[in-house]
Amino acid sequence: MNEAKTKHDWSLDEIEALFNLPFNDLMFQAQTVHRQQFDPNKVQVSTLLSVKTGACSEDCGYCSQSAKNATDLEKEKLLPLDEVKRAATDAKEKGATRFCMGAAWRNPTDKNLERVVEMIRAVHDMGMETCVTLGMLTESQAQSLKDAGLDYYNHNLDTSPEFYGNVVTTRTYQDRLDTLARVRDRGINVCSGGILGMGESRRDRASMLRELSNLPKHPESVPINMLVQVEGTPLYGVEELDPFEFIRTIAVTRILMPQSYVRLSAGRTEMSDEMQALCFMAGANSMFYGERLLTTENPNADADRQLFDRLGLNFETSQELQATEKECDSKKKVRMEIEFG
């Protein structure tokens, strides 16, 4: 198989055809693409901290932090800087190379953004990559984050444009795309993916991946989440997704976006070791590490290390991560020169 070509004009039929491949053929193709771009036995590790929890004005049907959902979550104010620094230090000592901070806002105020900027600079000074997810951004706010040295901004599309209204009504799909454009235009790496198992169809999953893969530039990081069902949210009790369908989605994501880091995100506590192993084989090469993801549980560090030992996987170090990113940038430059002269 020739080296995968980066495309930005995938059709829905093409993507559905990948989903419909025999499982072994799909896995082989995804693993081949993965090996062309990455060390198949290295996994980039991120840690996620909720720096402001609950009382969000959005109505996302999956979210325990929505003020509109009747969950038992206690709302909390923005964490003090020292507490964030302690959490980042602990994450670095456990092997994380990226520290992600999430705040339950529809969009941050400029005053709140100033406090987040302090957090970004503090974590950056520790030698870690930084990522934040704060909701929608204005152009000036995106520039402020760039000036602070932010490495990644997370803003998930969640699902397909067609299914989106079944999950969220308080912001539009275009609102999400606009925020991604503002972040990308300022030279901040984009982290954007979706959530599976919300009652969507395979065609919806294909449509979501078409939106991501046909962006002007593929997201540098693509988190694929399994819905964590929280009692009191509208999506509690929805039929669970077939594990093989989740693995297929990881594989298709890898084929569509060869140079992106594909991250196993929420829902790993519900996944068997065997399912996670197949996800890594399908091209996942990033994951969240640590006992908590915002407000949901995550496997403990010892369990992850034991799984990695059994599979012969290793955490990607900061030096290896930087080398991989430089190599990917070099390949992108060569492709652009060939395609556009």
Q: Is 212 a residue whose pLDDT tops 80?
A: yes
Alpha-helical runs (H) found in the chain: 12-19, 23-37, 81-93, 110-125, 139-147, 173-185, 202-213, 243-256, 273-281, 301-311, 318-340
Enumerate the domain spans of the chain. 12-340
Least confident range from 64-78, 90-104, 166-180, 263-277: namely 64-78
Please list the active-site residues: 56, 60, 63, 100, 131, 191, 263
| DSSP states of 117-163 | HHHHHHHHHTT-EEEEE-S---HHHHHHHHHTT--EEE---BS-TTT
User: 12-340, superfamily in CATH?
Assistant: Aldolase class I (3.20.20.70)
Q: What is the pLDDT of residue 72?
A: 59
Least confident range from 113-127, 129-143, 164-178, 320-334: namely 320-334
Binding site, residues? 56, 60, 63, 100, 131, 191, 263
Task: Give the confidence band of 326 by pLDDT, cuts at 50, 70, 90.
Answer: low
State what percent of residues in the chain have pLDDT above 90.
56
pLDDT in tens, 284-303: 999 887 655 555 566 677 78
Q: Is 166 a residue whose pLDDT tops 50?
A: yes
